[in-house]
Amino acid sequence: MAQAWVLALLITLLGGCGYHVMGRNDALPKSMHVIAVPAMENQTSSYRIEQRLTAATVHEFLAKTPYRVVSNPENGDVVLRGKVLSLEAVPLVFDTRATGRATTMLVTVRCEVSFEERDTGKVLYHTGNFVFRNQYEISTDVKSFFEEQDPALDRLAQDFAARLVAAVTENF
């Protein structure tokens, strides 16, 4: 009997707090079939970061959703627009014994993102402060440090895109 009360209470509480299963995109319009993802704007001094983030976002939509993705906003049912406002990398962990160089960096990307229906202009998702943070380990070897930069930026873009697509499709 006590278990039935606990179960009923749990169902009531979880149902009332907006809880839902991750990975479900029920918040999006059923008429949506094509997502337009034009190139993001870059307002930072980081060379081509907007291209990496845009490409990773397109890949993530294709991999994780049933929608077709195009680059031209005129050809989409909905349009995802983004501006890269800032990109910062700060050292977190240092190699104190050998070189004194940073071995782990905290990278923070801040963007403005809007996701809206093309025909109606209805905003499905918007934030002027989409912040993505992640830690990345870097080599203390100078030769391999520069070789790691491109793969590290690609990992950053993939991680960013996964979070962005989840936020947009699940309306978080």
Q: Does residue 21 fall inside a structural domain?
A: no
pLDDT at 104: 82
**pTM (2 d.p.):** 0.77
- What total of structural domains would you count in the chain? 1
Give the 3-state secondary structure of residue 122. Answer: coil
pLDDT at 19: 45
**Sequence-distant (≥ 6) Cβ neighbours of residue 154 within 8 angstroms:** 52, 56
pLDDT at 96: 75
Q: Does residue 19 fall inside a structural domain?
A: no
pLDDT at 22: 47
Residue 169: HSE in the Cβ half-sphere, 13 Å Cα cutoff: 23
State which residues form the domain around 157.
29-170
Q: Does residue 104 fall inside a structural domain?
A: yes
Which residues are 93's β-sheet partners? Answer: 104
Q: Does residue 35 fall inside a structural domain?
A: yes
pLDDT at 23: 47
Please, are residues 164 and 60 in contact by the beta-carbon 8 Å criterion? yes
Written in H, E and C, the secondary structure of 15-37 is HHCCCCCCCCCCCCCCCCCEEEC
Q: Does residue 10 fall inside a structural domain?
A: no
The rounded distance, in Å, linking the Cα atoms of 101 and 44 is: 25
pLDDT at 14: 53
> Which CATH number do you get for residue 142?
3.30.160.150
Q: What is the pLDDT along the chain (172 residues), one digit of tens a residue?
A: 666 554 554 555 555 454 444 445 556 778 899 999 999 999 999 889 999 999 999 999 999 999 999 999 999 999 999 999 999 888 878 777 777 777 787 888 999 999 999 999 999 999 999 998 888 777 766 666 556 677 778 888 999 999 999 999 887 5
Q: Does residue 118 fall inside a structural domain?
A: yes
Residue with the two structure tokens 């918040």: 27
